[in-house]
Amino acid sequence: MTAPVRAGDPITVNVALGERSYDIVIGRGELSSLGGRMASLRPGAKVAIVTDENVAEHHLPAAVAAVREAAPQIATIVVPAGESSKSFGVLEQLCDDLLAHRVERGDLVVAFGGGVIGDLAGFAAAVVRRGVDYVQVPTTLLAQVDSSVGGKTAIDSPQGKNLVGAFHQPILVVADTGLLDTLPTREFRAGYAEVAKYGLIGDAAFFAWLEANWQEVFAGTPAREHAIATSCRAKAAIVARDERETGDRALLNFGHTFGHALEAAAGFSDRLKHGEAIALGMTLACEFSTRLGLLPQAEAERAARHLAAVGLPTHLSSVTGGLPDADRLMDLIAQDKKVKRGKLTFILARGIGAAFIAPDIDAPEVRAFLTEKLAER
Q: Tell me if residue 256 is catalytic.
A: yes
Domain boundaries, given as residue ranges, for the chain: 11-182, 254-375
Q: Tell me if residue 274 is catalytic.
A: yes
Give yes or no for a contact between 45 and 103, defined as CB atoms under 8 angstroms apart: no
Give the global pTM. Answer: 0.93
Q: Tell me if residue 130 is catalytic.
A: yes
Q: What is the CATH number of domain 254-375?
A: 1.20.1090.10
Number of CB atoms found within 10 A of residue 362's CB: 11
User: pLDDT value at position 159?
Assistant: 84
Q: Tell me if residue 46 is catalytic.
A: no
Collapsing DSSP to helix, strand or coil, 136 comes out as strand
Q: Tell me if residue 253 is catalytic.
A: yes
Collapsing DSSP to helix, strand or coil, 199 comes out as helix
Which listed CATH number (3.20.20.70, 3.40.50.1970, 3.50.50.60, 3.30.420.40) goes with 11-182?
A: 3.40.50.1970
- Asked if pLDDT for residue 26 goes beyond 60, the answer is yes
Q: Tell me if residue 343 is catalytic.
A: no
Catalytic member of 54, 162, 213, 253: 253
Catalytic member of 194, 243, 287, 299: 194
The Cα–Cα gap between 202 and 219 comes to 25
Q: Tell me if residue 328 is catalytic.
A: no
Q: What pLDDT, in 10s, does the model give residues 181-231? A: 999 999 999 999 999 999 999 999 999 999 999 999 999 999 999 999 999
Q: Tell me if residue 287 is catalytic.
A: no
